[in-house]
A and B are shown apart, each in its own frame.
Chain A
Amino acid sequence: MEFLAILVGGILINNYIFSRFLGLCPFFGVSSKLETVYGMGAAVVFVMTLASAITWPLQHLLLEPLGLGYLQTVAFILVIAALVQSVEMVIQRVSPTLYAALGIYLPLLTTNCAVLGAALLNITSGYSFIASVVNGFACGIGWTLATLLFAGVRERVEGTHIPPAMRGMPIAFVAAGLMALAFMGFQGLFRGILF
């Protein structure tokens, strides 16, 4: 039951884009076309889940027992960078077609605050190992959902008449704001279970 709450929480209630402000640069970067979002989204979900799975034991089995909690930031970001690099190499070797679709997005994930953010939040929320992995997965899905919806909106907006000063980024931001308002409706969705 707790996992269902984490799933819904990560996807809707505490959506990384509209609630927590994580992963915004790629959110605006790849959402100009719907097709690119699928590729980036798949990469995000995959890396976030793996990163959560690897950073949890790193924190709880290595850093904390040795009293090295202050090395958390350095250790986590190095692990994530290494993870992204390895994933890229593995995909390149195993499936060139998949690499052609996802390849360019992977290196960007090292500096994606959503990946590091999820790893850090798993620790501060005190999740167990499985809960952390579920949370990483859920937040990745949430990010992808938000970006998909947003890309759809942007494609429609492109075709309409927009004042010159608002074209491009400004109108995109306003659209994102309206979507953030809509997502606020999910607050308190799991009142008795989540909180």
Chain B
Amino acid sequence: MSKSTSNVSFMGVLTEGIRQAPPFRLLLGLCPSLAVTTAMENGFWMGLAVIFVLACSELLISLLRKLIPDRVRIPVYIVIVATFVTVVDMVMKAYVPEMHAILGIFIPLIVVNCIILGRAEAFASKNGPLHSVADAIGVGIGFMVSLMAIGGVRELLGTGNLKLFGHALLGGGLPLEVVVMLLPAGAFFVIGFMMAGLTLLQNRQKKQAQRSVEHCTVPGEGAAD
């Protein structure tokens, strides 16, 4: 019985993590969201790096949570995260050097990405290892999807094509070259409008939920949350 509930909880934590979708919902990890999203593929690799660091860090911190004295907990978290970040840095430099050059200082900057320390503090220090890993993968995937979405929009509008692992996804590409999208200003615009879009969707969902409640014939029994 406990095994099945913990499996359900694993997926539950995972999907909740995805729904948190930084930077849109959580407003964390803004710096890489703007800096590296000049192309969709950059978003993929940055997301992958973050998933790795987040998962390893949350796992280790969760395993050690009873052993770490409260006073030194933040420095210890920082050392753990920094170590995994350095590992990612070295591995990427050895195996995907071009992407490593593109992501540049934002790889070591993962260590101060508020998402990582935030989740470590909010989740890993209080939950078991399995759930912590689920949380890490969930939030990480949410972040990766957000980054790829932002990168995708900027790349498509800025260069007219989307490239993934060396393949152009749209063949010859569209005749679009809105260069501002590839510049810092474009990053701000794209995120701003995407946030607005998400808020619009959310408001619409709320309105629909309200309407179905109003149509309910049995008073006192509302629609699903």
Tell whether, in the assembled complex, residue B200 and residue A78 are in contact, meaning their CB atoms are under 8 Å apart.
no
Q: Nearest residue in A to B29 (C-beta to C-beta)?
A: A25
Interface residues of B (CB under 8 A from A): 27-28, 30-32, 34-35, 74-75, 78-79, 82-83, 85-86, 89-90, 105, 108-109, 111-114, 117, 180, 183-189, 191-193, 195-197, 199-200, 203
Q: Which residues of chain B have C-beta atoms less than 8 A from A115's C-beta?
A: 112
Chain A window 49-64, contacts with chain B (Cβ cutoff 8 Å), 1 for yes, 0 for no: 0000000000000000
Chain A window 11-51, contacts with chain B (Cβ cutoff 8 Å), 1 for yes, 0 for no: 00000001111111100100000000000000000000000
Tell me how many residue pairs across A and B have CB atoms closer than 8 Å.
Answer: 126
Q: Which residues of chain B have C-beta atoms less than 8 A from A23's C-beta?
A: 31
Q: Nearest residue in B to A71 (C-beta to C-beta)?
A: B86
Tell whether, in the assembled complex, residue A181 and residue B86 are in contact, meaning their CB atoms are under 8 Å apart.
no
Tell whether, in the assembled complex, residue B192 and residue A77 are in contact, meaning their CB atoms are under 8 Å apart.
no
Tell whether, in the assembled complex, residue B109 and residue A117 are in contact, meaning their CB atoms are under 8 Å apart.
yes
Interchain residue pairs with CB less than 8 A apart (7): A18-B185, A81-B75, A110-B78, A117-B109, A173-B188, A173-B195, A174-B189
Q: Which residues of chain B have C-beta atoms less than 8 A from A111's C-beta?
A: 112-114, 117
Tell whether, in the assembled complex, residue A81 and residue B105 are in contact, meaning their CB atoms are under 8 Å apart.
no
Tell whether, in the assembled complex, residue A165 and residue B185 are in contact, meaning their CB atoms are under 8 Å apart.
no
The reply on A113 being an interface residue by CB < 8 A is yes
Nearest Cβ on chain A to B46's Cβ, whole angstroms: 13
Known: A70-B86, A174-B188. A21 touches B105 (CB 8 A): no
Known: A21-B34, A74-B83. A177 touches B108 (CB 8 A): no
Known: A24-B34, A28-B27, A110-B112. A180 touches B199 (CB 8 A): no
Q: Which residues of chain B have C-beta atoms less than 8 A from A159's C-beta?
A: none
Majority DSSP secondary structure for residues of B touching A: helix
Q: Nearest residue in B to A20 (C-beta to C-beta)?
A: B35
Tell whether, in the assembled complex, residue B185 and residue A181 are in contact, meaning their CB atoms are under 8 Å apart.
yes
> Which A120-143 residues sit within 8 Å CB-CB of chain B?
120-121, 124
The reply on A194 being an interface residue by CB < 8 A is no
Tell whether, in the assembled complex, residue A116 and residue B196 are in contact, meaning their CB atoms are under 8 Å apart.
no
Tell whether, in the assembled complex, residue B105 and residue A73 are in contact, meaning their CB atoms are under 8 Å apart.
no
